[in-house]
Structure 1
Amino acid sequence: MTSTPAACFFEGCKVIEASISAVPGLIVSFLILAALIAAPTALVAKARNKPWPLKTALAVYLAGILAVTLLPGDAGLQSWQCDTGTPTHLFTSASSLLNIALFAPGALLAVLLFKRPVTVAAAFGALSGAVELAQSAGHLGRSCSVTDLAANATGALLGSLVGAVWLYRRRQPLGKPLRDLAWGMSLGVLAALSILGVFESRIDRVDIVAMDDQRRGLAESAVQADEWIATAAKGVFGSDTQVRETATKKDGSRLRITATTDRGTISGTWPAKTLESAWSSNSRGDEGSLNKKEVAAAAAQFARKWFPQNVAGSDQQVRSIGDGPTMAYTVVYRRYADKVMMPMRLDLTVTTTGRVIGFAARTVDDPVLPRVTVDKAKAQALATATTGLPSESALLLAQQVKGEWRPVWLVGSGKQDIAIDAATGERIAGKG
């Protein structure tokens, strides 16, 4: 949608109104401050038989800048924080345009008064930096912002340029141009180094735009995740399933979402769209007629639909739960690579009608592991040497050790399980 001039003006008015309301007593404070600064300025100029209107106008305008930027408000970051986001909307944001407009007239008045545009531009740029640092250091309820600093400095440059053009058109000579250039450049460099030094040593940088984009993206992702988990719930529990509530929790770069329905609960992760678990509120077995082989086929059909990545290349095992007419089956999928059990997991509980009561899944890509050099017998011998107890079982599987996937023997020795790195033969402390 293209913004019209009227729309831009209306947006600017709203920003001005919001700025005034955010700083209680702004107008009254400005009038008092302007009187305190302008009156002595005018009196001193008259006493010295100097033109006073321009000096007084500049004094009043500086009072306005200080009032607008430094009076305590009800918003802002914490002390010694500053929004260092890139000022990409410098000439399109109503707030930035107002900051440009705030500093440009003051710089224009100063150039008309002192006839040194380079020095004036540098001085107003330094003033802008000092204002932002004061907003960051003080408990003012104001927001330090690199975008505001850039907008204020842009206003100072534009005001100084307009002032220089005005003097040129009026054929009024500039005051010692070479000295103005030298003083202005020196002041600008000194101010830039000082402000940069304080920013580097004291300021805690935050990126408000990026944070806002992240929050907006998180909110949009949460809505999409709600829609996805609702669809999954109806696919698992039945098309007439009603979602009562959803709970979303941020887990690193992903969302973990759980839906509570009238048929049970289901959870998964977004945006990977991987289901993790579900359990029906009706967990009693059905009095069906499917045998073990038919239940395995029904489970395979369900698993291929919802967990194709887990099923591919996996082995299926089926075992019964309970007995009688309400017995059910646990259908387990595991994948092996070079006899090492991969971290992928899929466990289904299925009734004799083919209804899936629940499932638990872990969808993980098969990791690349070091070559196994320790066989089962050696792993059991190492465990026995450690515990002094005979080993009862041994399982070779992939596990993360200090953030790295390793082939690991889990050896059961009495009441103590021992974890042994199958590539090095070393015992893994804390694993069992």
Structure 2
Amino acid sequence: MLEAVFRGQTVFIITALIITAGAGTVAFRLSASRTERPVLVGMWAASLVGALCLTMWSTGGSQVAANCVVNRDVFEPFTTVQGLLNMAMFVPAGLLGTLVTRRLAFPVCVGVGLSSVIETAQGAIPSIGRACDTSDLVTNSAGALLGALCGLLLVRRDSRSLTPWTFRVRPTSISAVGLVAALCTVWAASIHPHSVTATDAVSTASAAQRRAAEKAVSGAFGDHFAIKDVQYASSPNAKHGTLIVGLPAGFLQVSWPDSTDVTASLDMSDKGAETGFPVPGVTVRPRTPRQAQDVATAYAREHYPWGLPGSRVEVSGVGDNAALGWMVSWRRYHHGVLMPMRLDVEVDRAGRISQMSVHAAPDVSVPEVLVSKEAAAATASKTMPSCKKVDAGELLAVREHGSWQAVWRVVVSCGSSGAVVNVNAHSGAIQSRQTFSRPTGQPVSPQS
């Protein structure tokens, strides 16, 4: 995949330029005595090798072995900046290929073939650190086609009688069939396609999404911050996503389409610099958790008053000795069951709001709790008999299959692996189970 910006990759940039220039020079010299357009041949070769360098350069990380995302939404990548960049990367290859060969189909096939090789390699070789994604193949191929069409227009307007390239049918056919066979073999032997309705792509927000973003920003900060930009990050199921709102001093995220989750992160400072959101009427610079709670309460009362009545409040320091301030959290319980609402506000040392997170949800009714924490822990431990460490957490409300249930969340772990088990507090049955491995951390199931 083409990365929009290569930062801190001086060695890569120099190496790629040398390889690309070298490929162009070699192609020019080899074709100088065989064609009327050696300069174009050299430029075509350079464009192909340049694209190869951009997409095959190792990021230093690793992807899931033998995995490739198959995006069923063919048109989605054309709505993203990344997709348009991927398309633009192959336009020169299609354009120059047509100017060289004076034909349309061959340069397009070369572009499609090169992109197929790239995606196959990315899927089969995890150490490259690039993700195999059919969206890239689609946009690369579209770029090659667009470039070839532009080249065809230039060829037809060219008054010179240059001879189109001719191809020996047998060697060309054998090469094409061999490439297809090799790619199919690699896919059949080592790559597992993972089909999704849409990828985690980022695109420009629609008018409706922008209105939702404006409402969320207004709800969190009034008219204090002007919106710089709004983007939409889709999720693999294509039904839900996240609006990413750029602010002068940070960003805000909103769940779409329900807008029930709002998270903001503003610039923070441990020097007391005033970089966050100032709470109207508040001038105190908190030095104690209680003072921070007062600031956060004043903010919540003005912006999210629904989170205060009947809620328990907790204050915890952020950073060493609360260098970055305090996190003030509100949670609501009914008969010992944690309700789905969430309200977290971080107050920095300057008395400003540096971060906030909201999950707006009404209180819910759940079946009577009949299973104790100890019984739930015993049930969960049976899912991994070899693990002796069992930690039963809070009793919380979780929506499963359209209905709300009270569950005990139990973490069963041993060594570097374990599982998060939700045990139904009414029936005692295991409601869900999700395994994890360290050091990646433990998964957290959604609250609703």
Bin the TM-score by the shorter chain. Answer: 0.3 to 0.5
TM-score, L = length of structure 2: 0.44
The structure with more radius of gyration:
1
TM-score, L = length of structure 1: 0.46
Indicate the structure with greater helix content: 1
